[in-house]
Structure 1
Amino acid sequence: MKSFQLTLAALVLGLAATSVVAEEIEDQQKFIDLVVGKKLVQGETWVKILKDGKVEGQGPKAGDISGTWEWKGRYYCRNINIEEVAMPRDCQVVTIDQDKVTFTHKEGIGVSVRWTIE
């Protein structure tokens, strides 16, 4: 019986160690520490969220991405232009899972977009 309990405990601990759950970034300093200044890549598109409040990048057809960002409450809020077309202002929930960061539009109830941190 003791052998079974030890095996079960080892199995549970092993599963707990391998199952990674994305962590929500809830404050600006943590966002700056983990995401700001890094290149975020999704296919042929990349962006950088800069410490000075700017966003820069390039879309899949070499179209420029530019704009500004701020932290508001627990949300990353951005105003961006893609190929000179203004996108609606959007505040997003940000989660991180190792080298992946996910932005979920409309304060966490919209579409999620996942980027690889390089």
Structure 2
Amino acid sequence: MHKSIIVIFLSLMATSAAAQETLTKRSDFLNAVAANILEIKLLRLQLKVLDNGKITGKAFGRDVTGAWEWTNGFFCRSMTWGDRELENNCQQVVKDGKSLIFISDKGTGRSATFSLRPTTQ
């Protein structure tokens, strides 16, 4: 039941409309995620995107691991949630205040919005 919901959110990533900024440079993306946890509270999902190309975190009590790279203006990642493999997907990233919106399939697919929560609170 919750498994399909979390898979949808993990396999995608975000949308909105206000003072949004599409991130096209790796350095801008790293500035946005540095010292922050990406969080979707409803799904008990917390991810840390590290500058060394790794992704770590938890969702519904299961480990999330993965790898990412910045390619042609897109966040390209592959991840594992528990024992479930999530295929590689390149995503458009939009900054909206204190949130990041990840839009799958280079900005043409589904989206998920993650709050940016400082790692030290």
Q: TM-score range by the shorter chain?
A: 0.7 to 0.9
Partner residue, 1:57: 57
- TM-score (normalizing by structure 2): 0.78
CA contact (8 A) 2:19 2:97 kept: no
- Which residue of structure 1 aligns with residue 18 of structure 2? 20
How many pairs align?
99
Listed as ranges, the gaps of 5+ residues in structure 2 are 1-16
TM-score of the two chains, using structure 1 as the length reference: 0.80
Shift of 1:37: 4.1
Q: Give the unaligned 5+ runs of structure 1.
A: 1-18
Where does 1:11-50 land on structure 2 (aligned, <5 Å)?
A: 20-43=18-41, 44-50=44-50
Measured in 1, the distance between the counterparts of 2:116 and 2:29 equals: 13
Q: Structure 1 stretches (4+) deviating beyond 3 angstroms? A: none
CA RMSD of superposed structures (Å): 1.3
Distance 1:97 1:117, change over 3 A: same
Q: Which protein has the larger Cα radius of gyration, Structure 1 or Structure 2? A: 1
Normalized per residue, the structure richer in strand is 2
Equivalent pairs: percent with the same residue? 24
Distance in 2 (alpha carbons) for counterparts of 1:36 and 1:53: 13
